Amino acid sequence: MKRMNANPVRGWVSTVVVVIALLVVTTVCAPSQATNGTGSLAAAETSYYAYVACESEDEVVLIRLVAPEDGDARLEVAKRIRVGIYDLEIEGPHGLGVSPDGKHWYLSIAHGRPYGILYKYTTGDDQLVDEVELGMFPATMQISAATGLLHIVNFNLHGGHEPSTVSIVDPEEMVELMQIPQGIMPHGSRFSPDGLKHYSMSMMTDELFEIDAVDLAVTRTLNVHTGEGQMRMKHDSHAHDGEHAHGEQTHADHAKHGDHGAGAADHKHGDGDAKQHDGKQHGDAHKQHGDEKQADQKSSDQKHGDHQHATTHDQHAQHDPELQHDGHHHAMAKPTWVQMHPTKPLAYVANNGANEVVEINLDEWKITRRFPTGKGPYNVEVTPDGTKFVVTYKSDAATGIWDIESGKELARVENSRKVPHGIAITPDSRFAIVTVEGIGGEPGGVDAIDLKTLKRVDVADVGKQAGGIAFWKMEE
């Protein structure tokens, strides 16, 4: 017998059901796309976040830089965070750092009574977690990728010129483990990419200091003006363990220092009420610890065109006429910052008093190139891709962008106001986020510079004397 065909209606219905099911699955599984509120798809954008310290406002600002795939980048103030514990005193938030895992940020309070404080906060909700007292005027910091310890320089802006220290802090327990002696006014605190070597500048002795992050001892110094290097024996750089370099009082004794301890404890418990000070003031709230020294700097007669080129160390004069009769060196270069190359054994130092950035070969421990810059180079950062460095010209109200391979200044970008300070470069090497202090009663500023177009793309007003900056995260 011949077999009959299946019911054609039933087959049609089955086909429709399968098609509908496929459409449902495709709709559910397809990646969702945001709309701009009008029903059309919103353009993709990348957000970059950085913390900025406002030294004369006792405020830290969380900045968001939004970069659409199509369109102009813009800066937003995402959050303002009040820091410090005294209503009647400017305490001077100065240096910032973010932990490698991005879960915490650290802030140095510079002015102190007389010693400064390191605060630890959580990222996101920005809650105070802990604190530890350090030396005089703690400033720049970074955490070692190898040891997990935080190194922070004690700049010691107060009083006469005396050798100072680098504090070694356990950032988990927030305990100062020791202080390692440095030169006069140490500034800039950066690790090699592997976290095994720490570098900082001695501003008033023209020296680059290298610390072994495992042995916790100074291993080498290099004069960044003359190029003369020196090896250090471990016994020449004994750390101060269990005792601050600034006196006989131990760290445990310092933790009991009067109303400051009480105020900090109350602040940590989150009552939100700042404690009143006894009325003593530390002086002018708007200190310019870079520009105040400009009167001491040796003037430069070199001309600065739109494009500068690096010179080799051999082309630089070796004779140093500024040696005192006792053999001690007058600070001429006044270095303020050091930054490592991400893939090569090179470091870049901002010689604030000599109007130059010098390149140092860390393997050979010598200066290899000099880059004549604008006036008062202060902070220098290298792009993560290793192709450029960016440097703030504190006395020129400008920021320089340099091509490392050619040694050529690609652009000199005018800042939004006077006294540019710190730099954070985004992980994709696309933008430089630059803090600008301003002068007098001006608000501080944050400038966003596009490193492809070499132009300033936006400005955000923040608290007075915007200085320290630390990059937090990038979101796409």
DSSP 417-463: SS-EEEEEE-TTS-EEEEEE--STTPPEEEEEEETTTTEEEEEEEES
The conformational region for residue 156 under phi > 0 = left, psi -120 to 50 = alpha, else beta, is left
Buried b / exposed e across 376-391, counting CB within 10 Å, b at 16+?
bbbbbbbbeeeebbbb
Percent of the chain's residues with pLDDT above 70: 70
pLDDT, one tens digit per residue, over 206-260 is: 999 999 999 999 999 999 999 998 887 554 555 555 444 443 333 333 333 333 3
Choose between 12 and 109: higher pLDDT: 109
The pLDDT score that the predictor gives to residue 329 is 54
Q: Is the model's pLDDT at 276 over the cut of 50?
A: no
d(CA 392, CA 374): 9
pLDDT top residue among 17 and 415: 415
Neighbours of 168 (CB within 10 A): 24
Closest by CA to 165, choosing from 107, 97, 244, 222, is: 244
The separation between the first and the last C-alpha atoms of the chain, rounded to the nearest angstrom, is 68
How confident is the model over 30-35, as a mean pLDDT? 46
pLDDT of 425 over the 90 cut:
yes
Look at residue 231 in the predicted model and tell me its pLDDT. 81
Q: Are 370 and 360 in contact (CB under 8 A)?
A: no
pLDDT tens digit sequence for 139-166:
999 999 999 999 999 999 776 789 999 9
Lowest mean pLDDT among 69-73, 248-252, 402-406, 441-445: 248-252
Supply the Cα-derived Rg of the chain in whole angstroms.
27
**DSSP secondary-structure letter at 293?**
G
**What pLDDT shows up at residue 46?**
97
Beta-carbon contacts of residue 453 (< 8 Å; ≥ 6 apart): none
Task: State yes or no: pLDDT of 10 exceeds 80.
Answer: no
Evaluate whether 313 touches 369 at the Cβ level (below 8 Å).
yes
Sign, CA torsion 371/342/78/475: positive
Mean pLDDT of 383-390: 98
pLDDT of the residue at 391: 98
> In the beta sheet, which residues pair with residue 107?
96, 119
Pick from 78-82, 287-291, 428-432: least confident: 287-291
Respond yes or no on whether the N-terminal peptide bond of residue 163 is cis (omega within 30° of 0).
no
- Could you tell me if 175 and 169 are in contact, meaning their C-beta atoms sit under 8 angstroms apart? yes
Instruction: Report pLDDT for 53.
Output: 98
**3 state SS of 353:** coil
Domains and CATH numbers, the chain: 50-280+307-475 (2.130.10.10)
Greatest C-alpha distance within the chain: 124
Asked if residue 138 lies in contact with residue 95, where contact means CB atoms within 8 angstroms, the answer is yes
What tokens were used for 385? 């891709």
Q: What is the pLDDT of residue 241?
A: 52
Of the listed ranges 7-21, 226-240, 277-291, the least confidently predicted one is 277-291
Higher-confidence residue: 318 or 465? 465
Write out the two tokens for 156: 């010691």
pLDDT at position 4 is 44
- Whether residue 358 has pLDDT greater than 60: yes
Of these ranges, 105-114, 203-212, 273-282, the one predicted with the greatest mean pLDDT is 203-212
Best CA proximity match to 145, nearest among 192, 207, 86: 192
Confidence at residue 395, expressed as pLDDT on a 0 to 100 scale: 97
> Pick the residue with more confidence: 20 or 169?
169
Q: How far apart are CA 134 and CA 152, in angstroms?
A: 9
> What contacts 23, CB < 8 A, 6 or more positions away?
none
CB neighbours (10 Å) of residue 111?
27
Average pLDDT, the chain: 80
Starting at the edge strand found earlier in the chain, the sheet holding 197-202 runs: 186-191, 197-202, 207-212, 217-223, 229-231
Are 153 and 189 in contact by the 8 Å Cβ rule? The answer is yes
Per-residue model confidence (pLDDT) at position 157: 76
Report d(CA 201, CA 475) in Å as an integer.
34
Query: What pLDDT is attached to residue 196?
Result: 98
**pLDDT beyond 70 at 21:** no
pLDDT above 90 for 449:
yes
**pLDDT score of 311:** 56
Going by pLDDT thresholds of 50, 70 and 90, the confidence category of residue 202 is very high
For residue 330, name the pLDDT band (cuts at 50, 70, 90).
Answer: low
* Parallel/antiparallel/unpaired status of strands 311-312 and 366-372: antiparallel
The residue among 150, 131, 130, 148 whose CA lies nearest residue 140 is 150
Q: What is the pLDDT of residue 204?
A: 95
Give the number of C-alpha atoms closer than 13 A to the C-alpha of residue 376, restricted to the C-beta side: 21
Q: What is the pLDDT of residue 90?
A: 87
Give residue 86's pLDDT. 82
Question: Model confidence over 298-307: pLDDT tens digits?
Answer: 333 333 344 4
Which residue is associated with the tokens 């002018």? 284
Average pLDDT of 396-423? 98
Q: How far apart are CA 57 and CA 72, in angstroms?
A: 30
Q: What is the rounded CA–CA span in Å between residue 80 and residue 173?
A: 26
Q: Which of 64, 69, 111, 70 is nearest to 92 (CA)?
A: 111
Q: List CB contacts of 180: < 8 A, sequence separation 6 or more.
A: 165, 166, 168, 211, 216, 217, 218, 237, 239, 240
SS3 at position 16: helix
Which runs of consecutive H residues, i.e. helices, occur in 231-332? 251-254, 258-268
What does pTM read for this prediction?
0.77
Return the pLDDT at 247. 38
Residue 402: C-alpha distances to residues 238, 386, 409 (Å): 38, 11, 4
What distance in Å separates the CA atoms of residue 107 and residue 105, rounded to the nearest whole number?
7
